[in-house]
Each structure stands twice: as C-alpha cells, then as structure tokens.
Structure 1
Amino acid sequence: MNIIIPMAGRGTRLRPHTLTVPKPLMPIAGKPIVQRLVEDIAKVCDTSIGKIGFIIGRDFGKDVEENLKQIASSVGGEGHIFYQDEKLGTAHAILCAQKLLAGNVIVAFADTLFRADFKMDATKDGIIWVQQVDDPSAFGVIKVDENQNITDFVEKPDTFVSDLAIIGIYYFKDGEFLKKEMQYLIDNNIKDKGEFQLTNALENMKKKGAKFSPGQVSEWLDCGNKDATVYTNKRYLEFIKDSDLEAKTVQKKNSVIIPPVFIGENVVLENSVIGPHVSIGENTIIKSSVIQNSIIQTNTEINNANFKNSILGNYVSFEGKSDDLSLGDYNSIQ
C-alpha cells in the first residue's frame, strides 16, 4: 500500500504558528499532526505500508524533509519527498507524486485527523471517507444510492445536495486509473472553481465503471485553526489517556497534574497545576502557574501564568492571564 500526503500549504489560518513550522508538523498530544495521520492510516490498513509520498513546498527545508522520512520509517514505509510549486487544486497536488500512483493507494490530506475502529476493505474499487456535517457548503460532498454506492461527487455545493462531507482521506485499488483521470483534467484544462479538483477525476472514474463506497469514521478532527487544533489535542489526549504520557525526565516540585496530560522530556514543573488536556513540549519550564486545555511547544518558559484554550510556540516566554492565547515562536510577554 502506497500513501500520498499532500501538505504543501502553509496553513495561514493557524498563524502565527505556521510562520516558522508547516502546519502538518504542529504537535498534537506530543507528535506532529502528519505523524498522527500516518499512524492512524497504518492502523486501518490490513496490509503493509510501501512508499509514503509527502508533497511539500520547496521552502520547507531539509530538516523537515528528514523528519518526514523518519515518520515514514516509523510505520515501516519508505519516505519520498515531492514538491508542489503552484497551488492549482487537489488533483494537481496529488499528481506531484504520480510515480507512487500504482496499485493500492491511499491519499490523505494532512490537515485532518480521524478515529476509526475498522479495517479497510482493499477489494473495493475505492473508498471515500465521509462525515455528516451541519454546513456542507464548505466541503466536497457525496450522494449515495440505496445500496450505499456513491452516485455523485459535488465540490462545495452552493445549494444543498448532501450533508456527507468528504474528510480528505481516500483509498483507490487502481492508482494508475486515478492518475490517468487526473492527468486528463490537466491536459484539457478542466477546472472547477478555478482549480483542478480530485472530485472531477472521481466522477470520471465512476462514469467508466469504478464503484466507490463511503467509509464512515467514528470521529473527524480538524486542525485548520487555533481553536480546532486545541480541541483536536484535547480529543487525542482522551484517546490515548491509558498510554504513558509523561516522560521519565520530568521534574516536579509541589505541582498537581490533572490527566490526561502529555509532558515531554526534561520539563520542569514547580508550584503549578497542569491539566486537564495540556500538551507540553520538551525543555519547557513552568512555575507558579495554572494551565488547562492548551498546547505548549518546546523550550518555553512560563511564570505566574493562568491560561486555557491556548497555543504557545517554541522558545516563548510568558507571564500573565488569558482565556484565549496564541503566541508564535520566540515571543516574550510579561
């Protein structure tokens, strides 16, 4: 099974955090979003992972590329880096990794996470994972018939046609077939809402006989903006709360931890109350503070603080009170 992960966007809605780090490398419960995604896909695959293609911007840097290759290795795959120089739509993005479009392929966009309790049926022509939403106008959606076969793909409908939103994770039994139909869109300049859309290629595949089935996840988690990312961190900590989430090098003095909380290596806690639903990156020092429902990244110092529903970046220094804080890397507020 090959996996293709388009992730070239910088994640503007998650600024200032994505000014220095691509959004898929933001931490969720101690691991980058894209690593959580790859691990969750590996769990639902009833087969071994082959090649994993990460589609990124050329400006992401060599450190990011090496990090991504290590993530692929952690699930037994072989990491490959591809570049998307122009943002021309979902079909265009996937085609940047076209040499991996062969045989069984999963495509997963790296701004969404999911929970599922099933094994994928690789005998199907294709599986499109969906979730019921209140406002489908912001998503690609599907329509199904009485046999639960997908009959229509509609990209961001202006009028209601379905509330089954495509969450951005797809399985294809025949990667070559998908590649051919996406290339057809490019060659003939067929765009929808100004871009080359994967849903148009899926519609063409369906017309030529491919049968697509909806895949239902138990929970769909978004990482599109600060509040959504904090909530996803909260839910993930709940999912893995029975795991060992506290590094053995943590130093605690007169502090209370209300689980679930993730605490990285070499963290110092003094006279503080931490949790629930807090993730703390390595080498962070927290003193005389009360923190709930937040993500704190690495090498950060917090003193005399009280906050929740917040994200603090790397190398931040903060003192104060806030119900809603978003500080990027290297900021200092006292």
Structure 2
Amino acid sequence: MKALVLAGGTGSRLWPLTHTTAKQLVPVGGQPVLFYGIQAIVEAGITDIGVVIGSTGDGIRAALGDGSRFGARVTYLRQERPLGLAHAVRVARAWLGDDDFVMYLGDNFVIGGISDVVRAFRAERPDAGILVTRVPDPSLFGVVELDEAGRVVRLEEKPDCPRSDLALVGVYLFTSAIHEAVAACTPSARGELEITDAVQWLVDHGRTVGATTITGYWKDTGNVADMLEVNRCVLEGLSPEIAGSVDAASEVVGRVRIEKGARVERSRIVGPAVIGADTVIRDSYIGPSTSIDANCAVYGSEVMFSIVLRDSRIEHAGRVESSLIGRSVRIVGTVRTPHAHRLVLGDHSRIEVAV
C-alpha cells in the first residue's frame, strides 16, 4: 500500500504568509503540520510515500528530503497548477500503478493517527473509504449524506444547502478503482477536478464506498484560527524539557520545552509553550499555547496563544495575542502618536487596530 500526500495548493486563506512559505510547513507544537501527517502514515505501516508539490515545492523538498528521517521513501510528483484533488490523483497515476493507497491532505491534522482505519481498509477492501466528522458549518467542506444503514448516498463539495452535517476529513483510502472514476471527472464550477465527484462516480456505478465517522480531534489548518487551535491542541500533550539556559531571575511554569541554544533572561514562561533553538527571550512574558520557532528574539514584550516563525523579532511591542507571525518579521514598539497608525504592509495583509 502506498500513500499520496498533497502538499501543493496556494494557501490563499493564509495570505500573505503563504506567498513565500508552504502552508504545510507552518510549525505547530514545534514542527511543521506536514510532519504529523507523514508520521501518522508511517505509524500505519506505509513507507512508500508520494508527495504532490506545486509552486512551494522547493520548501517541501528541503523539509522532507528523501523521507529517511521518518523511516519512509519519498517520491515528489509535480502538479503544475492546483486543479483539484482528483487532478492530483491523475498526476500521480503512473507512480501509483494499481496499488491501494491512502490520500492524505498535508495541511490536515488528525489526533490519534490513521492506523485503525488503514487496518480496517486492508481487511475489508472496499473500492474506497472515506472519513467523516460532524461539523457546525458543513457548507465549508465536502459534505457526505448517508442512508439509514450508514451507506454513502451522496457527496457534494461546499454546498450552499448541505444535506447533512457530516464533513469529509482530509484522509481517503482507495483501490485502483478510483482511477477509472477520476478519468470520468470533468471540471466543476470552480474549474477543478473534485475528489467528491470521483467518489460519487463510484457510488453511482455500484462500487463499494465505506464511511468511518471519527469523533476525535480533526482540523483543516487552512486558516489562522484553525492553525492556532491545532497549535494549542498539540501543546497540551507537550513533555517539558529545558535544553537551553534559564537564568535565576526567570520563572518557567508548567509544560515548557526550551530547545538547545535558547536563552531565557529575566522572563516568565507559562506553558504549554515551545521556545525554539537559539531563540532569546528577555524581559518578557510568554503565555500558554505559544510556539516560538528557532533563532527568534522577544524583548520587553508579552506573547501568548500565538505562533512565531523562525528569525523573527518582537521588541517592546506590548502584548501580542492570537497571532501568526511569519519568518524574518520585525515588530517594534514606538512612541504612541495620537490618532495615527504607521504601517508597512505586504500584499493582501489584514490588520486589526484599536481606534
């Protein structure tokens, strides 16, 4: 059995961060979101992994390498444009051959892994297996309708009037039957080849499609709020470790990981929180549910419920909360000018200011 991991896409809901960074590489709990999916696949006993990449492919390649660090073998498959999940399967057709495979969306996060569903799929071997979960607003997702016996009846991508509250989780299991279904797909109104249409084709042609409802934690980390929530969830299971230095004037409370080369000076850190390698925290407060990446600096500031990517600096900036801060960003406090904001913003930025 193989695995197909989708790590392309534009990440438009995370602009401007994803103009230069793959959304799958944003770190939560101290490591990229993508790594959790790769680890879950390997834990399920699958080590032959194809990774579909797009315009951010160089970053994905640099992060994953040949896959040996995960105990896997990674093959990269180029998708020139993000034309849909079914299109990604079409791109990978030659590499997949006639093998069964798991398709895993690289920006999804599933607590508990996928070992159980892979084991059940191997034992029962339906033509396709899908994972679903109940959500408050199904119109944001692919929606699945089941009959009274729990059989899949209908799938629809982001419908205006959902027929159920069951959303597709970004993990699918397929036999080679999916390739005939994908070949029959035509572009949707969004101009994409939808995997929901391919699975619906299987249903309409009498193929067996199994649905497993999961009740554990699942998130599509496609927007800032969900990314921060996944970070919070991961940090709840953090094991404390201090590999860096903490001076006598500082206090570390709860589950905190301070990585090698990091320095904490005259500061208070309340976990769960991660302080990356070679980062300096000075005269500051780091609050719960915060991940600060490597080689950052926080001086005279408060940071909580936030993610700060590598090489960034926060200096005398007051309180920073519920924020996702990109790489090599500098946030500097300045003398307050009444009724004025001084801003330097990149394309597609969004800010919230007090008025």
- The interval holding the TM-score normalised by the smaller chain is 0.7 to 0.9
> Residue 90 of structure 1 corresponds to which residue in structure 2?
85
> Residue 75 of structure 1 corresponds to which residue in structure 2?
70
Question: Whole-Å Cα distance in 1 between the matches of residues 71 and 80 of structure 2?
Answer: 28
Aligned with 1:102: secondary structure? coil
Q: Once the 2 structures are TM-superposed, how far is the Cα of residue 320 of structure 1 from its aligned partner?
A: 3.3
Question: Whole-Å Cα distance in 2 between the matches of residues 142 and 63 of structure 1?
Answer: 34
Aligned with 2:304: secondary structure? strand
> Residue 13 of structure 1 corresponds to which residue in structure 2?
13
> Residue 234 of structure 1 corresponds to which residue in structure 2?
232
8 Å CA contact 1:241–1:259 kept in 2: the answer is: no
Q: Percent of aligned positions with the same letter in both sequences?
A: 29
Q: Once the 2 structures are TM-superposed, how far is the Cα of residue 166 of structure 1 from its aligned partner?
A: 0.4
Which deviates the most, 284-293 or 86-95? 86-95
Q: Once the 2 structures are TM-superposed, how far is the Cα of residue 272 of structure 1 from its aligned partner?
A: 1.3
> Residue 148 of structure 2 corresponds to which residue in structure 1?
146
Q: Once the 2 structures are TM-superposed, how far is the Cα of residue 105 of structure 1 from its aligned partner?
A: 0.9
8 Å CA contact 2:42–2:71 kept in 1: the answer is: no
Q: Deviations over 1:20-39 (max 9, x none)?
A: 11111111111111112222
Aligned with 1:3: secondary structure? strand
Question: Whole-Å Cα distance in 2 between the matches of residues 157 and 63 of structure 1?
Answer: 33
Which aligned pairs between 1:94-113 and structure 2 lie closer than 5 A? 94-98=89-93, 99-113=95-109
| 236, 252, 268: which one aligns with 1:256 | 268
8 Å CA contact 1:148–1:214 kept in 2: the answer is: no
Change in CA separation of 1:234 and 1:320 when aligned onto 2, cut-off 3 Å: farther
Change in CA separation of 1:158 and 1:286 when aligned onto 2, cut-off 3 Å: closer
| 57, 60, 65: which one aligns with 1:64 | 60
Q: State whether structure 2 residue 283 is matched by structure 1 residue 271.
A: yes
Change in CA separation of 1:327 and 1:293 when aligned onto 2, cut-off 3 Å: farther
After TM superposition, the score normalised by the length of structure 1 is 0.86
After TM superposition, the score normalised by the length of structure 2 is 0.81
> Residue 318 of structure 1 corresponds to which residue in structure 2?
331
> Residue 222 of structure 1 corresponds to which residue in structure 2?
220
Question: Whole-Å Cα distance in 2 between the matches of residues 169 and 177 of structure 1?
Answer: 17
Question: Whole-Å Cα distance in 2 between the matches of residues 327 and 214 of structure 1?
Answer: 44
| 157, 165, 174: which one aligns with 2:159 | 157
Aligned with 1:200: secondary structure? helix
Aligned with 1:86: secondary structure? coil
Write the letter of the residue equivalent to 1:123. A
Q: State whether structure 2 residue 181 is matched by structure 1 residue 169.
A: no
Q: Once the 2 structures are TM-superposed, how far is the Cα of residue 191 of structure 1 from its aligned partner?
A: 4.0
> Residue 119 of structure 1 corresponds to which residue in structure 2?
116
Gaps of 5+ in 2: 242-256, 335-343, 350-355
Write the letter of the residue equivalent to 1:89. G
Q: State whether structure 2 residue 295 is matched by structure 1 residue 283.
A: yes
Question: Whole-Å Cα distance in 2 between the matches of residues 167 and 114 of structure 1?
Answer: 9
Structure 1 vs Structure 2 CA RMSD: 2.5
Write the letter of the residue equivalent to 1:8. G
Runs of 4+ in structure 1 deviating by more than 6 angstroms, as ranges, are none
Q: Which has the larger radius of gyration?
A: 2
Question: Whole-Å Cα distance in 1 between the matches of residues 240 and 189 of structure 2?
Answer: 45
Which aligned pairs between 1:321-332 and structure 2 lie closer than 5 A? none
Write the letter of the residue equivalent to 2:286. I
Aligned with 1:4: secondary structure? strand
Aligned with 2:200: secondary structure? helix
Question: Whole-Å Cα distance in 1 between the matches of residues 18 and 190 of structure 2?
Answer: 26
Which deviates the most, 260-269 or 111-120? 111-120
Q: Deviations over 1:111-149 (max 9, x none)?
A: 321213762213231321111112222221112233333
> Residue 341 of structure 2 corresponds to which residue in structure 1?
none
Gaps of 5+ in 1: none
